Amino acid sequence: MLRWGWGRIAARFAGWIAIGLGLLACGMPAIAAPADAARGRALYETRCGGCHERSVHARGARSAKSFAQVRAWVAHWDRQTGSLWRDDEIDAVTRYLNDRYYRFPCPGEVCGTDRG
Ligand code: HEC
């Protein structure tokens, strides 16, 4: 009887937790959704804007030739400056730079289904 009682309580809690997480996910699309460019912009401007002219991304002879290479640069500079970003933050910064300057096709796992 007691075990059944606890099981019932646990089941109720699980329901509430699921609802709570659902609400959280709706309230914070930046966490639930694929990397978003606005967050990437804020991250980039905080840490990277001061050093190189943003024009390095727009220059004719820029080195990055694909989304993956832009990401590799972002990861490189993150490492150079202290490895502060998680993978999804590196994705967000890459997406920001890509949306703004490079315009390479963005993989679905980073940009979601809204673009290639
Ligand atoms: C110490 C100065 C410095 C800092 C800090 C810095 N960068 Fe750079 N970045 C450079 C220089 C210089 C280049 C050009 C390197 C080259 O072409 O060999 C560059 C190139 C790049 C490129 C490639 C541009 C191309 O040619 O396509 C990307 C992307 C980039 N940086 C992103 C970042 C990000 C993201 C950060 C912040 C985590 C950052 N950088 C911080 C100096 C810096």
- The Å distance, Cα 74 to ligand 1 centre, comes to 7
The confidence band for 24, taking pLDDT boundaries of 50, 70 and 90, is very low
Task: Give residue 103's region: left, alpha or beta (phi > 0; psi -120 to 50).
Answer: left
Region 90-94 average pLDDT: 96
The confidence band for 29, taking pLDDT boundaries of 50, 70 and 90, is very low
- Residue to probe by mutation, ligand 1, list 39, 48, 87, 95, most atoms within 8 Å of CB: 48
Q: Which atom of ligand 1 is nearest to the CA of 50?
A: 5
Q: How far apart are CA 4 and CA 100, in angstroms?
A: 57
**Residue-level pLDDT at 7:** 61
- Residue 62 burial (CB count, 10 A): 15
**What is each CA distance from 77 to 8, 49, 97, 100, 104, in whole angstroms?**
51, 12, 13, 18, 20
**Residue-level pLDDT at 30:** 45
- The Å distance, Cα 110 to ligand 1 centre, comes to 21
Region 23-32 average pLDDT: 47
Region 23-38 average pLDDT: 60
Q: Which atom of ligand 1 is nearest to the CA of 62?
A: 26
Residue having the nearest C-alpha atom to atom 10 of ligand 1: 52
Give residue 25's Cα distance to chain centre: 15
- The Å distance, Cα 73 to ligand 1 centre, comes to 7
Residue type, 65: K
- The Å distance, Cα 20 to ligand 1 centre, comes to 41
The pTM for the full model equals 0.73
Region 69-84 average pLDDT: 96
* DSSP assignment letter at 53: -
Judged against a pLDDT cut of 90, whether residue 32 lies above it is answered with no
